[in-house]
Amino acid sequence: MEKTVLYQFLIDAPRAAAIWSVLLVLALGVLTALVARPEPAPPTDRTPDLPDNDEVADQRRYAGEVAVAAAGAAQNAGRHRAAWHRAQTELDRAWAAYDEAEAAARRLAAATAWPSPGTPRTPAEYAARERWLHHAAMTAYWRGDLTGRQLADALAHRAGWDPRRHPAEQEIFLARVVRDGRLAAYQAAAQQERDAWRTAELAADAARALSTEAYAAAQRLRPNPLPVPRRVVVGRPAAALRWRPARVG
């Protein structure tokens, strides 16, 4: 019986370039504002009210603390972004492994249209089939295609592993087990990639918010504040790559 595995995985290209450009601009703005000397105020007929020294000290202390927090948040966002890239790489590998196993299973399934070669059903023949199954299962296990539990099932002739079948039929069954295992691994990698993407997005949002606050705190210390940078809002790309696993038998 054929089963169609048709699911889509949408990989959103991150707003990395724009986000990190904004963070860099904000960080440079904070640094410039903190180290720049105050500009002299233009002469006036009356002396402006000056803030209390304690209040100025508190503002400076707050500006320094939030600047440090913003720098730490930016580093944290960078780590999560790197983790997301690693998850993407693992997802690509899992997809390639599944695609290879699925193609192999389809090729072998197509061979079922031809009858299995006739062999005498003797005790010696059944013993040979059992040896073939055990050897094939052990080889697949050492390649990493079977888990320890699946190998134990194959050697114990459980979970559909039947040593009485012709080796051609056993090979098809083995290929389908390998394919299903790689499909499960791909699905797990896809979930991990989605989780890493969400975490990286949250970390980037937090870093951007802290950078904006750090810039504002530094600006409040200047007699002639610079205009606050415009917030850049970047949406998701209009076109994204969609994964479409092939039809499996």
Q: Within 10 A of 178 (CB to CB), how many other CB atoms are there? A: 23
Rounded mean pLDDT, 153-176: 93
Q: Where are the chain's structural domains?
A: 18-37+53-113+123-222
Closest Cα to residue 194, out of 58, 12, 48? 12
CB-CB contact of 246 with 100 (8 Å): no
- Residue 54: per-residue pLDDT: 80
pLDDT at 162: 93
Q: What's the maximum distance between 2 C-alpha atoms anywhere in the chain?
A: 116
* Residue 244: band (very low, low, confident or very high) from pLDDT cuts 50, 70, 90: very low
Say if residue 145's pLDDT is above 90: yes
In angstroms, rounded to a whole number, what is the distance separating the alpha carbons of residues 128 and 92? 39
Per-residue pLDDT tens over the stretch 46-99 = 444 555 678 888 888 998 999 999 999 999 999 999 999 999 999 999 999 999
* Percent above pLDDT 90 for the chain: 52
d(CA 118, CA 85): 52
Neighbours of 48 (CB within 10 A): 8
User: Which residues does 157 contact at the CB level (< 8 Å), separation at least 6?
Assistant: 163
Residue 99 tokens read as 């695609």
pLDDT at position 11 over 50: no
Please provide residue 226's backbone torsions phi and psi, each rounded to the nearest 5 degrees.
-80, 155
Rounded to 5°, the CA angle 196-197-199 comes to 65
Task: Please tell me the least confidently modeled range out of 44-53, 126-135, 142-151, 186-195.
Answer: 44-53
Residues 135, 127 contacting (CB under 8 angstroms):
no
Q: What is the DSSP string of 105-137?
A: HHHHHHGGGSPPPP----HHHHHHHHHHHHHHH
Which residues, at least 6 apart from 183, have a Cβ–Cβ distance to it below 8 Å? 5, 98, 101, 102, 245, 248
Do 163 and 129 meet the contact criterion of CB atoms below 8 Å apart? yes
Phi, then psi, of 159 in degrees rounded to 5: 55, 40
Query: What does pLDDT average to over the chain?
Result: 77
Q: Looking at per-residue confidence, does 41 or 82 come out higher?
A: 82
Distance CA 169, CA 32 (A): 72
Read off the pLDDT band of 4 (50, 70, 90): very low
| pLDDT at residue 40 in the model | 44
Residue 242 pLDDT > 50: no
pTM of the model: 0.65
Report the pLDDT averaged over residues 216-243: 57
Residue type, 45: D
> DSSP letter at 86?
H
